[in-house]
Structures are given as C-alpha cells and as structure tokens.
Structure 1
Amino acid sequence: MTASDTPSIAMDDTGDPPLRPLPERAASLLARVDAPPRLVAHLRAVHDVAAQLVAWVERHCPRLESDAEAVLFGAATHDIGKALHPAELSGPGARHEAAGRELLLTHGVEARLARFAGTHASWTAPGIGVEDLLVSLADKVWKNKRVPELEDLVVARLAGADGRPAWQWFMELDETLTAIGEGADRRLAYQMSHPLTRPQ
C-alpha cells in the first residue's frame, strides 16, 4: 500500500459492512499525515457509528442542541495522533490524545474540532459537551463495548433537554446501542482486514 490508498480507505465503497465515507477534510488530513491503513479503517468505522448516533439524537431529541458536523469530524479524526504513536494502534496508551490535538491544530484545524482528539477518552473532564460525549460513545459502541458511566452522562443530557425521565431515555438509548452493537463483528473484521503499517 502507498499513501494514495488513504483516500480509498476513507472514501470508497466498503461493501460489507457498508460504512459512510469520511468527511473530505478528514480524509485529506489523514493522507497528509500518512495515517496507517488500520487507523483510517478504524476512524471510518467509528465515524459511521457516530453518524448513526447523531441521526438518532436528531430524530428522538431535537431539543438537544448539538453540532452534528463537529461530532462527525471529531469521530473521523479522534485517533489521528496514532499516526505519530502507531504502537497505540495495537496496544494501550494515551500519548496519541494530546499529540492528535496538536497535530490537528498544526494542520489548521480549529480548536473546537481538534479537541475531540484529546477528549474522546475523558468524558468526565470539566467542560465536556454533548458532542464530546457522542464521539466517546461512538468510539466504544462501534465494537459493542458498553460503558455505563458514559451512557449515563448521555442520558442526563437527553433528559435535561426535553424533560422526560432519565429511565425512559435509558431504555431508548439502550435499545439503539444494542442494535448498533450487533454490527460490531463486521466492523471489527473490516478494521482488521487493513494492515497496521504500510508495506515498505
């Protein structure tokens, strides 16, 4: 593979599972930083789940104010720092978070959009917005990982926006996340079909 494969992974038809293309700006950034193929595939899977969550929120809780474009861009770039710390693609580590934010800022991305690289694993930090929570949620549920603390924070935002009891929102969100989670094996297989590094 060469760097020219990044736009293909980011934008072309994926077949099964069908994944939405990444935003063009995100795809261009990933090509510029020579993002590894598996990273691009991961971002595409998370972005697709984020798009499903955004659509669900817009349908079911239109009173919840959120920036859908920011969520989608954030999901599409949240792990871009792993281009600088590729060991974190296959192992634990958080160095990619601050590195990703700085990388995006260096490439001219506004702070309001670059922030997701640093907040996607910090959903309890001060100043976290609903957009950050949705990116974090997408980054978990794409592989069918459920994090009750994170889901409770999302439920609280939903309940606060329209006044319905939290338990009702919990049930609705749980049903949606369960349905999204059913596609996890296919998304994981798609991600794993891409190599960690580019062949020399």
Structure 2
Amino acid sequence: MSIQSTSSLSRPGRDRYTDVESLFAELTGLRRDDPRRIVLREELITCYLPLAEHIARKFTGHTAPAQAVLYTARSGLVQALDRYDPRRGAPFLRCAIPTITDVVRRSFRELHWAVRPPRRLDRVQQSIGPAVAVLYRRLGRMPTAAQIAGELGADPADVVLALVARNAYRTSPRAGTGSGKKEIRR
C-alpha cells in the first residue's frame, strides 16, 4: 500500500510554508481555552501534512506497513507542533523534521529490535552499510571492523558491538504487538 499525498488539502493560493509562521505567533498568543486555537492548530497540521508524508516515504519499504509509518509520522508532526515555540526564533521546520524523524525511528526500534541497543550503537549501525560499500570498492574485499571504524571515525569497540547488534534486528514485529502472535514470557 502506498502513501497518498494530502497536499491537495492545503488551501489554494498558499505557497507551501511561507506565510505559516505568522499562524504560529497567533497560536502562541491565544489562551488554551480559546476556540480559535483549535482551528489554527488544525490548519497548521493540515499545512504540514505533506512534510510528514515525505518523511514517512523515506521509511517505507522496511518491515512496517506504509500506513503505520504514515500514522507514526503524522503523530510526530503533532508532537512537534505542540512543542514548538516561535519565540525561540527558529523556524518550525527546524523543530519538525528532527522530531518527526525521531518518532518514526523510535517506533522502528521499539517494534523491530529483539534487544534494543543504545542509540549511539544504533546510529553507528545505520552508518556501517554505506561505509562497508565504500571500503569494499576501495579495498576489493570486505573490510575489517577496525577499517570500518576508521572510515566512520568511530570507536572500534562500538563498531564491533553495532555489528553484533545487527543480528538482534527482527524482520517481523515483536510478538504481542498486533502481529497475531502471542508473547511468550519466561
């Protein structure tokens, strides 16, 4: 199933994100119980849905269904919107992109890792594949862990742990997470 774009939901005549920042300032100025707050918040969410869809598309093709990834990315958008404070001076996209991406990555970690490695190992593990490809082309053989660490500028022990952690990655969600299997506790 593919992710369908909601960019048609944007208001006509509105250039993507140019005049939206003023809506954030207006939203911040309203009291929590003001009914206009709900309308503004929904308008902002609708405006930024294409961003969440774009980020979700980067993660489709993994083991999670596309609609589940899209739902997770949209919930990340809502989290980013709720945490954003325009008074800090940074544009919303600077907050939204990392927040949405982290929410999607976290959902993959929670669903697909048998043993959850620390984030630093997860990040090293994610960069190993491209580094191995570069080193393989350069060396004409599979690189050693020390060579991978040198290419990444990482600690060799972290690279070894990340390579071991790759074996803990599941190709299907954990039992008990809606996969139809029962969780076995020992």
TM range (shorter): 0.3 to 0.5
TM-score by length of 1: 0.32
Structure 1 or 2, whichever has the larger Rg, is: 2
